[in-house]
Chain A
Amino acid sequence: MAETKFNRPTFAVKAIPSDVNNASFLGNPVLDNLVSVVVALGTEVWATKRRMKVMESLLVKKGITPDMIEKYVPSADEAAAWEKDRNRFIEMTFNALGNEGYLSASAPFPKRG
């Protein structure tokens, strides 16, 4: 986030910053960064799930109960569309797990014809 411009008195002074972002605990700063990403993603996913719980609670008050949601049977068209979307989601999210990199960053292009 860019530095905030305040339009009112803040009574704050300059602090001495920590150097925590320079730390690497996993022997590779990229791995450290990935862990930060995963934790931040977890925070956002939970916020989304919790919002859905709020929505479900409100739906109950409008006559849509959790039981109705649990027992909902999608139509054939819906099922096909959802399956397609599920597969896209899985591929997007987990495809990298099967990748086995072996070229170093300085590796030249393979010989081209």
Chain B
Amino acid sequence: MIGRRSLFTAAGAASAAVSSFFAGRAAEAKEKIKKVAGDVEFRGADGRMERLGSLDLESQMDFTAGFREFNNKNISRAAGMRFQQLLKEKGMDPKAPVTFEQMHALAENDQLIGMSAKTWLANQQVTWKSLQDYFHANADMYLAEMEAADKDGPGSLTLDASIEIPDYAKHEIHIQPGGYVGDPFAGHMYHYGTNSFYIGAIGHNEQDQIHKLTANNIPMPADGKVKRILEVGCGLGQMGCALKERFPDAEVWSTDIGAPMVRYGHMRARDLGIGVNFAQGLAEKTGFPDGHFDMTVSYIMHHELPQPATRAVIEEAYRVTRSGGVYYPVDFNSGGNVGPAYGMFRRWWDHRWNNEVWSREYHGLNFTAEIAQRGFTLNDKTPAALPGFGARHFVRNA
């Protein structure tokens, strides 16, 4: 599971940092996606991104990306100002921490704040429905495309029909229909849907720019040995692909509980000519041998997990990472469900209505401290691999 978040809260802080990083890079050179047997790509590709199958759908996604950006900059800003006004009327300090309960009492019946939430969600729903309708209407063609890729390489795909998927992973995160396990085109929808999220909240990622930036910033082990890399909760495996491109001689595994996600991820990696091994599996029970990996990573997965699962994943990362190996779980800063009022509103709203089911549990944890308690040493001199997110360069203890 990757990037499963339509940022409302942490994204504000993250956005400025990453956007400025990418300023002036709009003309970044584009690679050409490889045309392979069975590939459905009748409208061509824009660098690494295959164009959507119809002009209308492409235009609909263009609208929803623009509307999301507009909403964040305008309607949401107006709602934020309204929020400050409400605080003032109540004689409350806008910067003073409030609880969710105080925030609800303040904002529950305000029409402008409600409009901000409603328009954002309506746009999110149109995004998903447009994509789902298209892929379902052309299901046979796109399922056949994935079937052709399943056993092809470079890289590999391992699906496990016997795996028991825990309920926590079955939610429709981001209100994506079917979530990451319940729709055969979950990967397709997620890929194109999160393009609009990235544009609206962090910066362009159509060419995997953000994943490449992050992958290139993750420190390697001090001894320089990188033979095997594991990415858990990989979603589409964009991070695994970026790491494989950085370490072409390494064996890279990208795992996720969602079969449709790893199927799409494998197909896309194959089209890009990147040899990543995709496998359906739980991050807390990978099945790999002890000390097998030089680097273990995840990309914006943990805020989609309940606290017991997060702890179990850290323990599994400790088991499969070798002594001196690097563990780097990229995710939001965390550590408390009390904060300035409008931020708390956005966080609540994202959690409850954008269906970030586990984000409150995540933010209730001191994630960095949880890792440090489980056999890893934090290198606190290393800046965050993804600017604006948590700096978590951990080295596995001997």
Contact = CB atoms under 8 A, between A and B. Distances in A.
Nearest to B261: A11
Interface in A1-25: 1, 4, 6-18, 20, 23, 25
Interface string B127-155: 00110110010011001100100000000
A106 interface: no
Contacts, number: 122
B321 to A, nearest CB: 29
Interface in B77-129: 109, 111, 114-115, 117-119, 121-123, 125-126, 129
Contact of B182 (A1, A13, A39): A13
A16 B60 contact: no
Given A11-B260, A36-B125, A46 B111 contact: no
Contacts of B183: 12, 15
Interface residues of A, number: 34
Contacts of B46: none
Contacts of A4: 136, 139
Given A35-B119, A42-B67, A47-B56, A12 B184 contact: yes
A12 B143 contact: no
B138 to A, nearest CB: 10
B179 interface: yes
B167 interface: yes
A14 B179 CA distance: 9
A50 interface: yes
Interface residues of B, number: 51
Given A6-B143, A8-B140, A25-B114, A14 B182 contact: yes
Interface string B250-267: 000000000110010000
A54 B56 CA distance: 11
Contacts of B355: 18, 20
A8 B145 CA distance: 11
B347 to A, nearest CB: 16
A27 interface: yes
Contacts of A1: 129, 132-133, 136
B55 A51 contact: yes
A73 interface: no
Nearest to A47: B59
Given A26-B115, A51-B56, A20 B186 contact: no
A10 B175 contact: no
B62 interface: yes
A20 B147 contact: no
10 tightest Cβ-Cβ pairs between the two chains A and B: A15-B182, A10-B184, A11-B259, A25-B114, A47-B59, A50-B59, A46-B63, A39-B122, A4-B136, A8-B143
Given A26-B111, A54-B55, 8 more contacts: A6-B184, A10-B143, A16-B172, A27-B109, A39-B67, A39-B122, A44-B60, A46-B66
Interface of B: 55-56, 59-60, 62-64, 66-67, 109, 111, 114-115, 117-119, 121-123, 125-126, 129-130, 132-133, 136, 139-140, 143-144, 147, 159, 161, 165, 167, 170-172, 175, 178-179, 181-184, 186, 259-260, 263, 353, 355
